[in-house]
C-alpha cells in the first residue's frame, strides 16, 4: 500500500512540476521554406546524382592503357592493366572492375579484380568505402574522376 501511494505521489509531483511555470506554445502559422529545386534546374546536387554513371579507366599513374605495373618483387610475373570500369549508383553504392594481363612461359593469362562498396559525399568531393575495409578519396573534375588507391593514381572518364 505504501509503495502504491509513493508511486502515485511521485507521478503527481512529476506532472505538476512539468506543467507549473512552463510557457505553453501558441499556435502560429508555419513559415514556408525555400522553394525546392531539382538537379536539372540547378545543375548541381548534394547527392550522387551529379556523378552517378559508368566510367572507363583511362590512365594509371598518368600512363595510358595497357600499362605495365612496376615489379616490386623480382618473383612476380609482369602484369599489365588492360582496362577497367567504375560504376557509381545514385543509391550510394559502387562497383569497380579491373582487367589484368600476365605473360609467362605458358602464354597470356587474363584475370579480373572485382570490388564493391559504398560511395558518399566528402565535402566538395566524394569517398569510396570498400567492402572488406579501406576507403579512397575521389576527386571530380567535369567528367573525370581521380582515385588515389594506395599510392596509384587512377583516372576514369564518364561514358556518354
Query: Which of the pair, 22 or 50, is modelled with greater confidence?
Result: 50
Peptide bond into 66 cis (omega under 30): yes
Return the bridge partners of 90, or none.
none
Helix (H) or strand (E) holding 16: helix 2-19
pLDDT band at 141 (very low <50, low <70, confident <90, very high): very high
- Mean pLDDT of the 132-140 span: 93
**3-state SS, residue 147:** strand
Residue 15 is predicted with a pLDDT of: 37
Which residue's C-alpha cell is 605473360? 103
Contact 108, 123 (CB under 8 A): no
Query: pLDDT tens for residues 101-133?
Result: 988 778 888 989 999 999 999 988 999 999 999
* Phi and psi, residue 19, nearest 5°: -100, -10
Strand partners, 59: 64, 155
- Cα 17 from Cα 25, distance rounded (Å): 17
**2-16, 96-110, 112-126, 131-145: range with lowest mean pLDDT:** 2-16
CA–CA–CA angle 41, 42, 46 (5° rounding): 120
Give the pTM. 0.67
pLDDT recorded at residue 102: 87
Q: Is the pLDDT of residue 21 over 50?
A: no
What backbone torsions phi and psi does residue 96 show, to the nearest 5 degrees? -125, 135
Domains of the chain in start order, with CATH, are 45-158 (2.40.128.300)
Give the pLDDT mean for 49-74.
Answer: 88
pLDDT of residue 150: 85
Phi-psi region of 15 (alpha: psi -120 to 50; beta: other; left: phi over 0): alpha
Amino acid at each position: 500500500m505504501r509503495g502504491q501511494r509513493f508511486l502515485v505521489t511521485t507521478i503527481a509531483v512529476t506532472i505538476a512540476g512539468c506543467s507549473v511555470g512552463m510557457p505553453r506554445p501558441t499556435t502560429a502559422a508555419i513559415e514556408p521554406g525555400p522553394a525546392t529545386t531539382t538537379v536539372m534546374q540547378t545543375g548541381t546536387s548534394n547527392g550522387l546524382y551529379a556523378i552517378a554513371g559508368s566510367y572507363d579507366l583511362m590512365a594509371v599513374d598518368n600512363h595510358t592503357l595497357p600499362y605495365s605495373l612496376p615489379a616490386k618483387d623480382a618473383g612476380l610475373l609482369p602484369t599489365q592493366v588492360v582496362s577497367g570500369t567504375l560504376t557509381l549508383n545514385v543509391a550510394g553504392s559502387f562497383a569497380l572492375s579491373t582487367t589484368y594481363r600476365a605473360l609467362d612461359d605458358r602464354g597470356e593469362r587474363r584475370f579480373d579484380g572485382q570490388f564493391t562498396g559504398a560511395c558518399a559525399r566528402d565535402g566538395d568531393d566524394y569517398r569510396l568505402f570498400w567492402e572488406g575495409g579501406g576507403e579512397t578519396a575521389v576527386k571530380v573534375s567535369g567528367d573525370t574522376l581521380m582515385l588515389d588507391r594506395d599510392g596509384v593514381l587512377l583516372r576514369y572518364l564518364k561514358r556518354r
